[in-house]
């Protein structure tokens, strides 16, 4: 379950990245947190990666390790944001390689909820967004996925659970729904 510290870090990471793209800050929505928590619990129980079918936006992250792991609220957000490297600014629109990034910075989204479920060696993080982003029209992407603000500081996403920058240790795997990386 996402504790208060996890939620703060999750929200702060979102708003830090969003500010670099001229998107207003998100606020934490308790209803969305409840729905995200229920879905994270379901994913852990079923040991699967799939979207819930909600009409809200949704990002899912899973981290597995051969050793016990505890994530902060930042790792999933960093992973989703790292998809920026695949975004085609010259041809805006949805892509399965960038959908988590675009939802994260989607300008018209105003609220977020988070849920976390862990078995000790596997952690699922679910973020749900309202209103949903990734509306399938290039015009919506032009209006909602804005380039980085000139002069904004580059924030290097760090590797989960250890704050290392060199990649993963042996026995670690991360999955962003629904693609294995």
The pairing of strands 111-118 and 27-28 is parallel
CATH code of 137's domain: 3.40.33.10
- Is the predicted pLDDT of residue 150 greater than 60, yes or no? yes
**pLDDT-derived band at 1, boundaries 50, 70, 90:** confident
Determine the Cα angle at 94 with ends 90 and 100, to 5°. Answer: 110
Is residue 51 very low, low, confident or very high in pLDDT (cuts 50, 70, 90)?
Answer: very high
How many domains, the chain?
1
Alpha carbon of 162 to those of 8, 75, 79, 168, 172: distances in Å?
A: 19, 10, 14, 9, 11
Which percentage of the chain shows pLDDT scores above 90?
77
Characterize the bridge pairing of strands 122-130 and 57-65: antiparallel
Q: If pLDDT is split at 50, 70 and 90, which confidence band does 160 have? A: very low
Average pLDDT over residues 12-25: 99
Check: CB of residue 64 under 8 Å from CB of residue 154: no
For residue 93, the SS3 value is coil
Model confidence band, residue 2 (pLDDT cutoffs 50, 70, 90): confident
Q: Which range marks the domain in which residue 73 is found? A: 4-48+55-180
Separation CA 125–CA 144 (nearest Å): 24
Q: Label residue 161 by pLDDT band (50, 70, 90).
A: very low
């Amino acid at each position: 379950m996402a504790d208060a510290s996890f939620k703060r870090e999750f929200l702060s990471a979102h708003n830090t990245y969003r500010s670099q793209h001229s998107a207003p800050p998100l606020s934490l929505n308790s209803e969305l947190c409840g729905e995200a928590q229920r879905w994270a619990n379901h994913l852990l129980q079923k040991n699967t990666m799939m979207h819930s079918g909600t009409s809200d936006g949704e990002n899912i992250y899973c981290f597995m390790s051969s050793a016990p792991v505890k994530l902060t609220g930042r790792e999933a957000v960093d992973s989703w944001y790292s998809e920026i490297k695949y975004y085609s600014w010259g041809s805006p629109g949805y892509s399965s390689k960038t959908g988590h990034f675009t939802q994260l910075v989607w300008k018209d989204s105003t609220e977020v909820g988070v849920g976390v479920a862990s078995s000790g060696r596997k952690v699922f993080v679910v973020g749900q967004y309202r209103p949903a982003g990734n509306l399938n029209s290039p015009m919506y992407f032009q209006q909602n996925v804005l380039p980085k603000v000139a002069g904004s500081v580059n924030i290097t996403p760090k590797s989960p659970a250890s704050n290392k920058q060199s990649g993963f240790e042996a026995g670690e795997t991360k999955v962003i729904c629904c693609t294995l990386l």
